Amino acid sequence: MSDKFTGNFTQQQPIPEDAIEAAVRVMRHGRLHRYNVVAGEKSETALLEEEFARYVGAKYCLAVASGGYALAAALRALGVGVGDTVLTNAFTLAPVPGAIANVGAKPVFVETTQSLVMDLDDLRAKIASSGARVLMLSHMRGHLVDMDALMEICNAADVQVIEDCAHTMGAFWNDVPSGRHGVVGCYSTQTFKHMNSGEGGLLVTDDAEVMARATMLSGSYMLYDGHSAGAPAETFKDIRLDTPNCSGRMDNLRAAILRPQLRDLDTQVAAWNARYDAVENGLRNTPALQIVERPSGERMVGSSIQFLLPDFSQSQMRDVLKRCAVRGVELKWFGGDEPTGFTSRHNSWRYVDPQELPNTDRILAGLIDMRLPLTFSLDDCAQIARIIREEVGVVHQAG
């Protein structure tokens, strides 16, 4: 009854041996900069771009310094600038409104549903009221909204969609890879995402001009010929002179680490989903606890799990967190007054004009989040679920 979990919620797997060897090869030859190549050589970065473009079925791919950099470059490549409004999720993480602020634009937040996705009725209303021409859609915590319905709304209103796939690399909606519905898809290869190069980002699109602008922005000087998954040379004719260099390239060392991980990604996804299912099964039918049901169109990546305690008070929520922590289970709560760790809320971002988001606030007040690193075994996951179930039960009964 009072067993304790001793695993570590932030411990990722080690970098695979073949990736370590690839990194060592790059260090041995010393050509870490993506444009430092010998005659006839394709850089590791260019090869990663080719392979990732193929993986998601995109025409073009650009590797950059971070996921947040990719988001800001995507906005700028679409022509978003100072004073423009950009629609985005009220429930997301700080790099998303941060990318919008980075180009001098203003986020307009869209409400969240019980399924933790963007509320499409509110999206329609906010498109009309804001006049925004771009939506930065964050697939927060891996939950995919009905992408067919969302794209229909956005296409009808002439709103361009940038997808933030920091939590959905390897996921699909109705057999279309996440990141391939909108005009641009952005991914992160930061340590806590689905591939680990410490920091890093990827941007994909089928639009040659958008790719050419993003490439120049990333700091390609006049060396864009080396982008074998980049836009055709003629696309750069004016763009190369009109676009500022806002240095944010990826280097060959990170790319070398990522290429073997990309080959393993689908296997990793299956391992995450097995862990997700183990926790979800263990939590099912817990009184007072609401599972977030996944839609049938979604092929998810269960690298984290969320559940709701809709009727719990703030002090009950804090109690659950405290009791689980004593037993080694680290939960995050999106309803706290103060931002902590990676977790903050729309009203913690004081550089954004305050906005009324009653539905999102109500949902976040009861929302618990937990990471599922692949260093957890399936037994670990069952134990974690058991502990949560018991502690939620104790708090519920004390009522």
Ligand X SMILES: *Cc1c(COP(=O)(O)O)cnc(C)c1O
Binding site for ligand X (CB under 6 A): 66-68, 92-93, 95-96, 138, 140, 164, 166-167, 188, 190, 201
DSSP 106: E
Q: Which single residue brings its beta carbon nearest to ligand X?
A: 67
Min separation Cβ 94 and ligand X, Å: 8
Q: Which is nearer to ligand X, 93 or 144 (CB)?
A: 93
Q: 288, 309 in Cβ contact below 8 A?
A: yes
At residue 299, φ and ψ (nearest 5 deg) are: -110, 105
Min separation Cβ 140 and ligand X, Å: 6
Q: 63, 200 in Cβ contact below 8 A?
A: yes
Q: Which is nearer to ligand X, 85 or 188 (CB)?
A: 188
The DSSP-derived string for 280-321 is: HHHHTT-TT-EE-PPPTTEE---SEEEEE-TT--HHHHHHHH
Q: Which is nearer to ligand X, 49 or 164 (CB)?
A: 164
Q: Which is nearer to ligand X, 77 or 320 (CB)?
A: 77
Left (φ > 0), alpha (ψ -120 to 50) or beta: where does 220 sit?
alpha
Q: Which is nearer to ligand X, 205 or 235 (CB)?
A: 205
Min separation Cβ 302 and ligand X, Å: 15
DSSP 117: S
Q: Kind and range of the H or E element at 333?
A: strand 332-333
Min separation Cβ 393 and ligand X, Å: 31
Q: Which is nearer to ligand X, 201 or 336 (CB)?
A: 201
At residue 4, φ and ψ (nearest 5 deg) are: -125, 135
Q: Which is nearer to ligand X, 108 or 387 (CB)?
A: 108
Min separation Cβ 316 and ligand X, Å: 27
Q: 370, 361 in Cβ contact below 8 A?
A: no
Among 39, 162, 50, 143, smallest CA distance to 91 is for 143
Min separation Cβ 191 and ligand X, Å: 9
Min separation Cβ 109 and ligand X, Å: 14
Q: Which is nearer to ligand X, 167 or 275 (CB)?
A: 167
- Helices and strands in the chain: count of H runs, count of E runs: 12, 14
Min separation Cβ 193 and ligand X, Å: 6
Among 178, 185, 230, smallest CA distance to 209 is for 230
Neighbour-count burial for 111-125, b at 16+ CB within 10 Å, e otherwise: bbbebbbbbbebbee
Min separation Cβ 138 and ligand X, Å: 5
**CA torsion sign, 227 to 231 to 237 to 238?**
negative
Q: 382, 278 in Cβ contact below 8 A?
A: yes
Q: Which is nearer to ligand X, 90 or 289 (CB)?
A: 90
Measure the CA–CA gap between 150 and 165, rounded to whole angstroms: 16
